[in-house]
Each structure stands twice: as structure tokens, then as C-alpha cells.
Amino acid sequence: TGRLLKPSGDAEPGEVAAAFREQARALVDSGPDIIAVETMTDLAEALLAVRAVREVSDDVVLVATLTFEKKTRGFFTVMGNTIQEAAAELAAAGADVVGSNCGNGIENMVEIAREFRATTGMPLAFRPNAGMPQIVGGRILYPETPEFMAVRLPALLEQRPAIIGGCCGTTADHIRAFRKVLSV
């Protein structure tokens, strides 16, 4: 939603859940194969979204991914949630696939993937950024080239993800480079 849930912010959990249910109904009515709850920084908000989708449909494949930051003691969401908490609680709420997207380049995403795999046997999804954005000459640039990411992709694949892709800064060239690695 872009708003923090109470007590950290001003968003009422009930109102947020109702908004997620409305979105879920519209999405499910369109007949998707997959619904992705993604780029979440608060596990509580992600759980509201996952539960809202499950209230509307038990059939649609539900992917739930959070964004984590690397701290001295490991990876945490902005709200302090761990990978272990996220995997367990998202699964209990009805997610079919869990993982992470955004906020990290491929090297950190490999570390995140290892933690997820050590925590759960569930299907996993990972979509790293092409690095962290930098402003160069007034333009936003992402430093990780398709080749840089592709060379590191096998380490991510060792964690047996069900879904891989790219997030901010990735282009069709990045995905083509991933595809070449997958074809070998």
C-alpha cells in the first residue's frame, strides 16, 4: 500500500485487508494463473495480502516475495522480519511459493536464497535487481550487466528456485542471458 500499518504508521490493518480483498477479487475474476504479492517490506502487510487472495480463491497459484536488507546479523525486512519468519508465516497463510525480489543485486540474492532454502522445502522465487541504483550524470543506472548477473546465476540455481527473473534495472538482455545459462 505504501503506508505503514499501525502502530508504526497510520494504516488500519482492516482497511488494508479490505483493499487487498477488492484487488484480489478483480484479479481472480480476470482468470490469472498466478498472483504475485511482491516487494513487501512488512511481513504483517504481506500476510494481509496473502490472506485476502486466499479468501477469494484457493485455486490460483500465490507467490509471495519480500524485500530484505543485509545487516550485520543477517537479512531483515525494513520492519525487522527474518527470512525464517517470512517463510513459515507466508506458508501458513496460504502462499504456494515464497522468496524475495528487489532491493538486492544477484550476489546478495544468492545469500537470501540460501537462507530460504535452509529454512523451507517450499517452492522458491527470486528476482534480483541489476544491482543497486546509482545516479550518474543525472541518470539512474544499475551497475550489474547481463553478463555479470548470468555468471552468478548458477549459485542462485543451486537453491532450486521454482521461479527466477529480474526486478529493477533488469532488461530483456538480462533475461536472455539468464535463459542462456538455463539452456546449458
HEC sequence for 147-161: HHHHHHHHHHHCCCC
Residue 113 backbone phi and psi in degrees, to 5: -60, -40
**CA distance readout (Å), 44 to 26, 62, 86, 89, 145:** 22, 17, 9, 9, 34
Cα–Cα distance for residue pair 164/161, rounded to 1 Å: 7
Q: Is 102 annotated as a binding residue?
A: yes
81's grid cell? 522480519
**CA distance readout (Å), 18 to 14, 52, 99, 105:** 6, 8, 24, 33
Cα–Cα distance for residue pair 24/26, rounded to 1 Å: 5
32 cis-preceded (ω within 30 degrees of 0): no
Q: Is 24 annotated as a binding residue?
A: no
Binding-site residue ranges for Zn(2+): 102, 167-168
Binding site listing? 102, 167-168
